[in-house]
Amino acid sequence: MSIEKTLSSDLVYRGKIINLKVDRVELSGGRKAIREVVQHAGAVAVVAVDSEENVLLARQYRYPAGKELLEIPAGMVEQGEDPLSGAKRELAEETGAAATSWQYLFGFYSSPGFSDEYLRVYLARDLEFASQSLDEDESIDLVKIPLGRVPEEIERGGIQDAKSIAGLLGAFRLLGKNTG
């Protein structure tokens, strides 16, 4: 396996959520190529399961998709923030829930062909509810679906968000549900 050597790097956009850089790299054998990279601070996502084995989902309009999507609670990790603390914050903000049981499920790169975003997914159980504390640009409806219906919802297209699909199927498997 060959490592690509960075020859130059130009930051072409600095944003609130992402940065975009264009790198010139040298491939094995001396060939040159351009790599466009979306830089992201990292994110967390939470599969929250209540005492009745329902999963908490956020229904919200996603501008790039042009429609409402059902997603597990998620958000960016703030600078200097521990990922688990970020997961707890996002769950509270988006759903109004706090959990006393937390388990790290897994982490993954969301789209490593062009982005360095790394998501950490947690399972939250033993939930207590208060009120949502949404960011001023968020509008989220809380939806509960039975954990046992997760595969069906994914198959029929009711859940189309990649981090949600990965997290929900991971939690479904861990909690011993029969997918077949």
Which residues are marked as active site? 136
Q: Which of 140, 137, 129 is nearest to 58 (CA)?
A: 140
159 CB-side CA count, 13 A: 25
Calculate the alpha carbon distances from 132 to 3, 93, 98, 99, 142 in Å: 45, 5, 11, 14, 9
What residue ranges in 16-175 does DSSP mark as E strands?
Answer: 18-26, 32-40, 43-48, 54-62, 67-71, 74-76, 97-109, 118-129, 141-146
Question: What distance in Å separates the CA atoms of residue 35 and residue 15, rounded to the nearest whole number?
Answer: 19
Question: What distance in Å separates the CA atoms of residue 138 and residue 19, rounded to the nearest whole number?
Answer: 22
What residue type is 28 in one-letter code? S
SS3 state at 4: coil
